[in-house]
Chains A and B, each alone.
Chain A
Amino acid sequence: DAGVIQSPRHEVTEMGQEVTLRCKPISGHNSLFWYRQTMMRGLELLIYFNNNVPIDDSGMPEDRFSAKMPNASFSTLKIQPSEPRDSAVYFCASTPRTSGYNEQFFGPGTRLTVL
């Protein structure tokens, strides 16, 4: 059974370029989370969705960041235009549809470098 899938695994781009990160959650999971991890700030929650609807985007740093979840099996995080300070590892995570509080299943991450 495949886990959370993220692509690309590595992305190197130049400042000002648009970057799109992709995530496929585990089938049957109904909540999806985007995180950013850096040495300075640790692991930060950017936005999360429940049943494809954005619930809380208060962690999105700027208007340059946007996220969509057009269906239950796909989500994107877009940065436009990208800046060097956006360099980080971006993780996607999902949780299953239950009534209780459950573990989050993380993808392998996308390492983004903005030159």
Chain B
Amino acid sequence: SQQGEEDPQALSIQEGENATMNCSYKTSINNLQWYRQNSGRGLVHLILIRSNEREKHSGRLRVTLDTSKKSSSLLITASRAADTASYFCATTSMKIQGAQKLVFGQGTRLTINP
């Protein structure tokens, strides 16, 4: 069953603007991760936020986590054409025999217009 759901499904903005994507999930989590997927490529890890953290920064990325609302947001500031990609949130609920299991949302398709 799908855990994370991204919103919006698609987002188109002008270069230089900020892009905000949201993710909601259903069950309690240990951590939440965001990944980027360029067209025709594999997913690339962007940032991880643990359940006891509320905000995290990495370069132009800012992630927030609200466990009471079971939601997270990814903010990309000063967007660039190279940021055009699909963005996925993924949650980890348990660790079984040393392995983590990620459940991915459907993703947000971000288009940065020059």
A contact residues vs B (CB 8 Å cutoff): 4, 30-31, 33, 42-43, 45, 48-51, 53, 55-56, 91, 93, 95, 101-109
Contact = CB atoms under 8 A, between A and B. Distances in A.
B42 to A, nearest CB: 3
Interface residues of B, number: 26
Interface in B88-114: 88, 92, 95-107
B48 A55 contact: no
B106 A42 contact: yes
Contacts, number: 61
A55 B104 contact: no
Main DSSP-derived SS at the A contact region = strand
Contacts of A101: 30-31, 48, 50, 92, 95, 100
Interface in B71-93: 88, 92
A105 B31 CA distance: 17
30 contacts: A4-B42, A30-B98, A31-B98, A42-B2, A42-B105, A43-B43, A43-B88, A43-B104, A45-B102, A45-B103, A48-B99, A48-B101, A50-B98, A50-B99, A55-B96, A55-B99, A56-B101, A91-B42, A91-B43, A93-B42, A95-B100, A101-B92, A101-B100, A103-B33, A104-B45, A105-B45, A107-B42, A108-B41, A108-B42, A109-B41
Nearest to B106: A42
Nearest to A39: B106
Contacts of B31: 101
Main DSSP-derived SS at the B contact region = strand
A58 to B, nearest CB: 10
B10 interface: no
A100 B105 CA distance: 22
Contacts of A51: 98
A4 B88 CA distance: 20
